[in-house]
Structure 1
Amino acid sequence: MLTSANLAAILPFPDLDPVAIWLGPVPVHWYGLAYVAGILLGWLYARRLIDNGKLWLNDTAPMTRQHLDDFILWAAIGIVLGGRIGYILFYDLGPVLNDPIRAIQINKGGMSFHGGLTGTTIAMFLFARRNKIPVWSMFDIVAAVAPIGLFFGRIANFVNGELWGRVTDVPWAMVFCSQHLVDANNGICPAGPDPRHPSQLYEAGIEGILLFLILFALCRWALALKKPGTVSGIFIIGYAFSRIFVEFFRQPDRQLGYLLETNWLTMGMVLSLPMVAIGLWAVIRAGRAATRQAA
């Protein structure tokens, strides 16, 4: 139970219903709306990047609006399938092997960013090859808009009261316990009575807003899109470092806990470390390719 001291030291968690609206008998969840908002706003921003030829190598965008419109379906499939499969492989493989139907029970497990990134990368590669679009420029366009989707996704995590942070006594700590969460968990508050870091909001601010502003500056003012692969590499590095940082405040997945008998190393950190090396390689490769072309 919460004590009076706890109540005085924490911020109230908003009692928001995970269902945004009902369309007759069909519930429309905030999480689904977050995906729609992220893809729609990302698509609009990507169109503006494509329309501005001065941002691109040889002052010509590598793809058309029609290409971008066609790619939306590919991206959605890559995000959803990759995210779900990645979550199962990285975080929930044992329970799914024991109960295969769990693989489609999203309420018993969510999506993995690393899996979604892998699925989207495969979709981008196949789409670019099919439509004769330079692969690295395709990667750059998606990387530039990806933080928009990350922002809305983390906000949806917060609304759902999931992926909460570690126990803390900071003034902005929250007890992730609302009436909707209690009702959905048989009268039990899933995060317990302790105040915790609102780590979902940390991720929304760093992975979403801050990373978007960095990539925006690179595209608009540093003209990084003229060096295909630079924006992709910076995005991967930026996400990896932000995820590793937030993992120090985020509660690890219950079925995995901390790794290697530590009280700090998590699966999110392990999966993010190789991304730093991949991102550095992409940036270096882009610089060398630009130097060769200039020569």
Structure 2
Amino acid sequence: MRALLPFPDISPEIFSISIFGFELALRWYALAYIGGILIGWRLAVLAVKTPRLWRNDTVVMTPTQIEDLLTWVIVGVILGGRLGYVAFYQPAYYAQNPGEILAVWQGGMSFHGGLLGVILAGFLFTQRHRIPRLSAADVMALGVPPGLLLGRLANFINAELWGRPTDLPWGVAFPTEAAQHCPAVAGVCARHPSQLYEAGLEGLLLGAILIWLVWRLGALKTPGLVAGVFFAGYGCARFAVEFVRQPDAQFITDGNPLGLVWHLSGWGLTMGQILSLPMILIGIWLITNARRSS
């Protein structure tokens, strides 16, 4: 008998109440967004309140500007995440159903799209307030990992974005019908808990590295370094986890069970890997440029 872990009995809803016939619920996923944004905001504020972390002990932003930037970032995350999902993962469907593009309550968000939205929001904000862009990017990068950690944990609780089937002892038997559809597996299907892999790599480990760089090595004195480490770190982590993460159903066919978007002779890349490669290259460029300018 194969070893596997049962899925924990945790409801996706923390609580729900009925008001005038309407059911209002607070879900773990929503709380993860809120918690991630608040923790990221406090990290950024703490950084700009600590002059010794900056070159010549001169901060480039004020706590008030961080609060203003937060609004821009939230809009960038939501719009970018949704439009990125539409463009990267379901373009044909939404071309036929354009009225559903902004229906975010139906699910479907892309991290890479959200990142592009945040980059655009940051670009416009720094241009408007004449803030050095690389330093602003460093502060923004510092605040992202907590949201990734909490978001991936919420994905696990929601039993979504699970991994490919595995016979490893920590494989999890996710309860949904789709997760249990494993034609090559007899009996209960255990899958990689890829959400937890990402939470550990993209959230916990990457966040710890960035905090160490900022508060121990003074990385904010070298504009672009923290952002570069974030881009390269996230890109590498996501690229690696994609090897065990179940691809979106629309990419899977009888002749392409691994859901590879680009493939040749059995080798190829998933959509997540294709989108992560530019992040790795941008990160390497930012790190190299930062070290040369220091």
1:246 aligns with 2:241: yes
Return closer, same or farther for 1:264/1:198 CA change in 2, 3 Å cut-off: farther
Specify the code of the residue in structure 2 equivalent to 1:285: N
The correspondence for 1:21, drawn from 15, 26, 29, is 15
> What corresponds to 2:189 in structure 1?
194
> What corresponds to 2:183 in structure 1?
none
Return closer, same or farther for 1:264/1:164 CA change in 2, 3 Å cut-off: farther
Whole-Å separation in 2 of the counterparts to 1:84 and 1:280:
27
- Structure 1 residue 37, shift from structure 2 partner: 0.2
Paired residues of 1:248 and 1:264 also in contact (CA < 8 A): no
1:219-278 Cα deviation digits (max 9, x unpaired) = 111111001100000100000000011001101111122223446621000111111111
Give the 5 Å matches for 1:93-132.
Answer: 93-106=91-104, 108-132=106-130
Query: Higher mean Cα deviation, 276-285 or 132-141?
Result: 276-285
- Structure 1 residue 23, shift from structure 2 partner: 4.2
Whole-Å separation in 1 of the counterparts to 2:212 and 2:88:
34
Aligned length: 274
- Structure 1 residue 38, shift from structure 2 partner: 0.2
1:125-159 Cα deviation digits (max 9, x unpaired) = 11111112111111000101111110011011101
1:30 aligns with 2:28: yes
Specify the code of the residue in structure 2 equivalent to 1:281: W
3-state SS of paired residue (2:238): helix
Return closer, same or farther for 1:248/1:106 CA change in 2, 3 Å cut-off: same
Whole-Å separation in 2 of the counterparts to 1:63 and 1:26:
38
Paired residues of 2:163 and 2:192 also in contact (CA < 8 A): yes
The correspondence for 1:88, drawn from 86, 89, 110, is 86
Give the 5 Å matches for 1:1-295.
Answer: 5-6=1-2, 9-24=3-18, 25-106=23-104, 108-177=106-175, 181=176, 189-192=177-180, 193-256=188-251, 257-261=259-263, 262=266, 265-290=269-294
Percentage of pairs with the same residue: 47
What TM-score does the superposition give when structure 1 sets the normalisation length? 0.89
Structure 1: gaps of 5 or more residues: 182-188, 291-295
Structure 2: gaps of 5 or more residues: 181-187, 252-258
1:73-117 Cα deviation digits (max 9, x unpaired) = 111101111111101110011111122233234465421111011
What TM-score does the superposition give when structure 2 sets the normalisation length? 0.89
- Structure 1 residue 280, shift from structure 2 partner: 1.2
What CA RMSD, in Å, does the superposition of the two structures yield over aligned residues? 1.5
Paired residues of 1:87 and 1:109 also in contact (CA < 8 A): no
Specify the code of the residue in structure 2 equivalent to 1:158: F
Return closer, same or farther for 1:51/1:195 CA change in 2, 3 Å cut-off: same
Specify the code of the residue in structure 1 equivalent to 2:195: Q
Paired residues of 2:165 and 2:191 also in contact (CA < 8 A): yes
Paired residues of 2:262 and 2:270 also in contact (CA < 8 A): no
Specify the code of the residue in structure 2 equivalent to 1:140: D
3-state SS of paired residue (2:15): strand
